[in-house]
Each structure stands twice: as structure tokens, then as C-alpha cells.
Amino acid sequence: MLIILDHEPFDERKSIGEWLRENRKKMKVLAYMINASGPHNINILFPNLGPACYNATYLRNQVNTDKNNIAVATSDLGTEILPIIAKIAEVPMRNIFCPPVWGFVGINHLVDVRTTVHKYNSFEPYRRYTRVKNSTLNIGSITPEMRTLYYLMHFDDTLWIKVTEMKKIYGQGPEAEVKLNKANAVLSLVNMWLLNPSPENIVCLGISCNGSFGLKFDGIFSQPARFDNGHWKPANDFLMPLDREMKLQYLEKIAEFLMHIEPNDLPPIKPYYPCACKPQFFPWSVVMWLWDMWGVLWAVEAVAQLSVLATPLEPAPPIPQGEPRGALPPTLLST
């Protein structure tokens, strides 16, 4: 088995096309070496590093080996959110299976929580349970069942907010990022691939599409799969994703678009860093004081207007007898 760790880390100063071009160069060099010295039945495994499904798809199209022996370990994306799911659903984490991971992992993906399976013990009481008190006989039977978390997560929309907060706490840099989930995903996949293969086990990993789940993408796509007759095949009897926001057809279109993207098709990503400074708000007491002052000024202005209206007018000077109406008195004419 060949485990490929080589990849080009993402650089915010470059566009998506340039980043993928650098990864293509690395995969092209690996393809030359595999075609020159690798056996036809070599098993190739990609951990979830960089654009993992993109690199696996490009290498798959360049090598002369069995294309069904190329896989990407993607289950770490599901296990990293298991503690939060268990806390929200109030289900012990040991009773929850890994959430299914779909998509072109490394660029975009979907972790479908609604179809995540958990173990549930169903209690069926006997008639004596309600008729007899303090009975020493069995009061019912417990039947283990497999249920999805759909009914437990339907009314909760805080999952991804809590996942984001968790990633902020643990960090995203290479020094702070938790690698344990990725290592467990690789070790578990190697165990099922080489040591304990069983067609009954279903695991999410990136493999070649064969039309199952309606996926016609000619490349590596993360989906539920099982190991059957020496090859990984899609587990077409698994549930389709039920996420309300992300559709499987959208993930497939993004994968097809990125396989033909050129370096200058998309502009470089301009990171946006919102201001973390504390906003300057006026204290509530100041706002109320300004409101009171405005009320006082309004009252003063109203009183002044009323005082002007209430002032009596000065009487007009008397008009001497014998003068025509409308003529001005002599005193006013002299002035």
C-alpha cells in the first residue's frame, strides 16, 4: 500500500486555479514514478490533506494501475463533530456511528447528521407492568434497534455554530490542529482494507463513482462504501443525504467544474477579517439625558410661542374729528 501525504498547502495569496495547478504538478510526478515501478494491483491511499479528492482523481487519470484501488480517507470529518452531536442529541457517543461524509473532500463536502445511525434500546412493557406493582417478574422486553438522528436533530440549528466555536478554540494552524482524527481514519481504513476485510462494514471514503446514489462524476467522490471482492464499491443501499441546505447534485457539479478549471478562471481569494474591536456605544444614561434635554428645549420653545400669542396689542392712536377716515394724524405725518 502506498500512502500519499504529498500535497500543496493552500495559499490565500493565490487563486483556486493556481493552487490546484500546483497540486497537479505534484501528482504528475508521482504518476511517473508509480507507472515506472509500481505493480498493477498497488493500493493507493490518500489521507484528508489538501485537496485530497482532487489529487486522487488526477492521479487516477494518470496511472496505469487498477483505478478501483485508489481511496481517500474522509471519515475524520465525521468523527470530529461526534462529541457535539452526542451532547445535542443526548445520546452516548459510544452508541453513535460515524456520520456519513459526502462530496469532493478537500474543497467542499457535506457531513449529513440527519442520516447518522445510532443504537437505541426499545422498551416494550408487558400487561403486568400496569396491573401489578412491585412485581418480581419481567415487566417488559428490550429490543436493540438502529435509528437515525433525524428526529433528535430536527429542531436544533446550533450544531455548526458550535463546531465553528470548537475550531476557534483548538485553532486551525499546523501546530494547533488536531491530527488524531485523521490518523484514526487512516488506520481504520488500512485495517478494513488489508487485515480484516468484511463486506458488512460500511465506511465513508472517497472512491470512484459508478452511478450509485445518482453520481455520474468520473472521479473520486466521498460516499458510503463497502469492501467487496477485493475492491471498494459504493454502498448503494445506504440512505441518501437529507440535509436541507446542501444537495448532492450541487457537490457533484462543483467537482466537475474544478476538474477543468484554469489558473485564471477565478480571482484570488481576498480574506475578510472583521473588526474585533469593541463597538463604541453611548451609555444609556447619556441617551436618556439627551432625550430629556430635547424635551426641555421643546417645552421652552412652546412656552415662548404661547407668551408671544398672549401679549395684548397696543391700541391705535385716536383719529381727530373732522378728518377723513384713513388719513394719518398730524403727529404721524410730522415724524
Residues 65, 39 contacting (CB under 8 angstroms): yes
One-letter amino acid at 4 equals I
Secondary element (H or E) of residue 71: strand 70-73
Burial of 19 (0-12, 13-18, 19+ CB in 10 A): buried
The C-alpha cell of 99 is what? 456520520
pLDDT of 140 above 90: no
Q: Is the pLDDT of residue 239 over 50?
A: yes
What is the model's pLDDT at position 309?
56
pLDDT at 225: 95
**pLDDT at res. 219:** 94
SS3 169: helix
112-134 in b/e form (b: 16+ CB < 10 A) is: bbbbbbbeeeeeeeeeeeeeeee
Where exactly are the structural domains of the chain? 2-258
Mean pLDDT of the chain: 81
pLDDT at 201 exceeding the cut of 80:
yes
Q: Is the dihedral of CA 46, 49, 53, 58 positive or negative?
A: negative
Query: Which is more confidently placed, 275 or 92?
Result: 92
Higher pLDDT among residues 289 and 97, named by residue: 97
Residue-wise pLDDT tens digits, 9-63: 988 888 889 999 999 999 999 999 999 998 989 999 999 999 999 999 999 999 9
Residue 325 has pLDDT above 60, yes or no: no
Q: Which three cell numbers stand for residue 91?
A: 445520546
pLDDT digits (tens, 9 = 90+) for 262-310: 877 777 766 665 555 555 555 556 666 666 677 667 666 766 666 655 5
Of the two residues 84 and 274, the one the predictor is more confident about is: 84
Residue 42 dihedral angles phi and psi, to the nearest 5° = -65, 140
Predicted confidence band at 177 (pLDDT cuts at 50, 70, 90)? very low
Per-residue model confidence (pLDDT) at position 193: 93
Of 85-99, 188-202, 256-270, 321-335, minimum mean pLDDT range? 321-335
Q: What class is the 2-258 domain?
A: alpha beta
Q: Is pLDDT of 144 > 60? A: yes
113 pLDDT band, cuts 50/70/90, is: confident
